[in-house]
Amino acid sequence: MALTLTNQMKRLKANCKPWRFFCRTANLFDVFAPPVCTTKILDKIRRTNVQDGEAGGITQQIGSTYVPCEEIQRQSKTLKKAQGFDFNVPGLLVIDTPGHEAFSNLRSRGSSLCNIAILVVDIMHGIEPQTAESIELLRRRKAPFIIALNKVDRLNGWNSLKKQKPHTMQDFETRWNQVKVQFAEKSLNVDLWYNNKNMKEFVNVVPTSAHTGEGIPDLLFMIVYLSQKMLARDIAFSEELECTVLEVKTIQGYGTTVDAILANGHIREGDTIVVSGLEGPIVTTVRSLLMPAPMKDLRVKNAYTTNKEVKAAQGIKIAAKDLEKAVAGLPLAVARHAYELPYLKAEAEANLAATLNAIKTVDEGVVVQASTLGSLEALMTFLNSEKIPVSAVNIGPVYKRDVFRASIQLERNPKYAMILAFDVPIDREAQAMADKEGIKIFSADIIYHLEERFREHMEEVKQRLREQFKFVAVFPCRLRILPEHIFNARDPIVVGVHVEEGVVREGTPLVIPGKEFLEIGVIASLEFDNKTVDLAYKGQDICIKIQPTGAEKRMYGRHFDHTDELVSKISRESINACKDHFRDDLKKDDWKLMVKLKKLFQIL
């Protein structure tokens, strides 16, 4: 009997174990200490403007920057605590993750790569939703972190901490105490780093300004200090490879490359690498190992330096053949020996399958397309929070096959006949097919913009369907005729009524249940307090004009009178229309009346 993929992997892994999975830890303090940091703070550290280059100024992908030890020493040389301190780490690899709530998966991926994190808190707003989510993430991973109390320059009259006027210092103390209370409510002890006497019990807080650079030297020094004093074992170099693909890019002169974080181990030019691909595992040979200059972000175009070998931890760009369909967000492996290839290929295939299978899809829903696995997960996070069903997902450009999958929704549920494409190109033939079939393709490189366009479209669809089913949907109502307000007995019938239950609106057909469901007509208009209104509710006295619907015209006083109760005539079709397009227009009591009328009319 054929072995399953999992069994094959176990067998291959067992065969490889003596060579591949032996981990030797050296007592070397290496560069592997990448904190999670905001782009603006990181821009100040490296004196760049990466965030302005991001789509809409919002971090959309994970990036990385290597900060050498010399730069840290230079920036922190004025600090009294740094004088005489022995800097043992070669530098810091800083991972920059998106801050938007929808990108929690990318922050999670970033935090899993890092040894120590910087949690940025706005002193003007305190703990915000994404801050709270990051705290829980760090707690789950038991990851040490430092708090950057950012935007202190916004305080009125701010100069520098030791040169403040009394009212500015008072403002700082007030806001800092508010933030401290917020952390205490989350069972976290925090203290300003220069006052902290117990760093094992209290989280260090560094006041900073990404705008002026205030506190950035303090922040850099504290990262190094804590890394060397408390995380020596964690940042020790290991030969076992830990490498994650961040992004797939085409670079002029190098072809398709992958940006990756080399968290541990080493990689050489000429190594055989295995990565997960859209059409199966990709096995290729490293042609070039490119690195940006120190203090430069991996995402930004740079004059790259070529290396024969790179040791962790570094952000690297790998140039090799056949990387066009590599999937970002998954591990990259190096096959040191030919017999490792079958296991590594099976592992790469299983990683992608497990990730995509974990994304829940349904028969009726939108098609989602994204550039990377992280972007796909971010988009799914938003769609799930909005209870938007997804029928299919994919990574990479939008092709005709994706449009075909979306076209299936034209029969199942037309409002979902669309593709949400995040940060991916759209094939010209695919766009032409979508236009012909009536499939909407919403494309954006900022998740906020995609969200806005989707919301606008869904609102348009909602209003169009409400207008289409306006007279199909019948709101439930029960009316009592007021005998002292009979204005016209026939064609049209104009009478005053009291709304006993439900909602009354134009177009509502009325019947009398007590006279074998005698049809009276349809409400043509209604008035309340001598003014025409669209709706009337329980407890109101209104005047209604009833137009006949059949050949036989009903007459008040002959066919019915004030002792007869009027109710709206509902059907299975009208109930479905109310559920699908007017659910929020009816309150809980209105739906209870709908259930009563459903039993009255014996509707299944």
The verdict on 188 and 255 lying in the same domain is no
CATH code of the domain in which 348 resides: 2.40.30.10
Residue 47: predicted pLDDT:
55
Judge whether 178 lies within some domain: yes
- Rounded CA-CA distance 247/299 in Å is 9
Judge whether 384 lies within some domain: yes
User: Across-strand partners of 522?
Assistant: 509, 547
- Rounded CA-CA distance 481/564 in Å is 8
Q: Name every residue whose Cβ is closer than 8 Å to that of residue 227 and which is 6 or more positions away in sequence.
A: 33, 89, 115, 116, 235
How are beta strands 541-547 and 518-528 bridged, if at all?
antiparallel
Global pTM? 0.60
Q: State whether the Cα torsion 402-403-408-414 is positive or negative.
A: positive
The verdict on 448 and 548 lying in the same domain is no
Judge whether 528 lies within some domain: yes
The verdict on 346 and 278 lying in the same domain is yes
Residue 204: predicted pLDDT:
95
The verdict on 56 and 170 lying in the same domain is yes
| Contact status, residue 30 vs residue 232, Cβ threshold 8 Å | no
User: For this structure, is 562 an active site residue?
Assistant: no
Residue 396: predicted pLDDT:
82
Judge whether 313 lies within some domain: yes
**Strand order through the sheet with 145-150:** 117-122, 145-150, 203-207, 190-192
Residue 113: predicted pLDDT:
62
Residue 302: predicted pLDDT:
56
The verdict on 389 and 269 lying in the same domain is no
The verdict on 496 and 563 lying in the same domain is yes
Judge whether 264 lies within some domain: yes
CB atoms within 10 A of CB 514: 13
**Strand order through the sheet with 366-370:** 390-395, 366-370, 418-422, 440-444
- 372, with CB counted inside 10 A (0-12, 13-18, 19+), is buried
Q: Name every residue whose Cβ is closer than 8 Å to that of residue 445 and which is 6 or more positions away in sequence.
A: 55, 60, 422, 423
The verdict on 338 and 368 lying in the same domain is no
Judge whether 28 lies within some domain: no
The verdict on 200 and 217 lying in the same domain is yes
**Site of tokens 């054929």:** 2
Of the three residues 469, 486, 503, the one that is the final residue of a domain is 469
Judge whether 31 lies within some domain: no
The verdict on 332 and 183 lying in the same domain is no
The verdict on 488 and 438 lying in the same domain is no
Residue 216: predicted pLDDT:
87
- Rounded CA-CA distance 95/315 in Å is 9
The verdict on 263 and 204 lying in the same domain is no
Of the three residues 231, 264, 295, the one that is the final residue of a domain is 231
CATH code of the domain in which 389 resides: 3.40.50.10050
The verdict on 58 and 163 lying in the same domain is yes
Q: Is cis: bond before 492, omega within 30 of 0? A: yes
Of the three residues 202, 231, 260, the one that is the final residue of a domain is 231
Catalytic pick among 100, 211, 266, 337 = 100
Q: Name every residue whose Cβ is closer than 8 Å to that of residue 592 and which is 6 or more positions away in sequence.
A: none
Instruction: Convert the pLDDT of each residue in 377-419 to its tens digit.
Output: 778 877 887 788 999 988 888 999 999 999 999 999 888 999 9
Judge whether 25 lies within some domain: no
Residue 297: predicted pLDDT:
54
CATH code of the domain in which 140 resides: 3.40.50.300
Domain count, the chain: 4
Low-confidence ranges of the chain (pLDDT < 70): 1-63, 96-113, 159-163, 293-303
CA distances to 4, 155, 480, 493, 516 from 513, in Å: 65, 71, 13, 18, 6
**What is the domain extent for residue 440?**
359-469
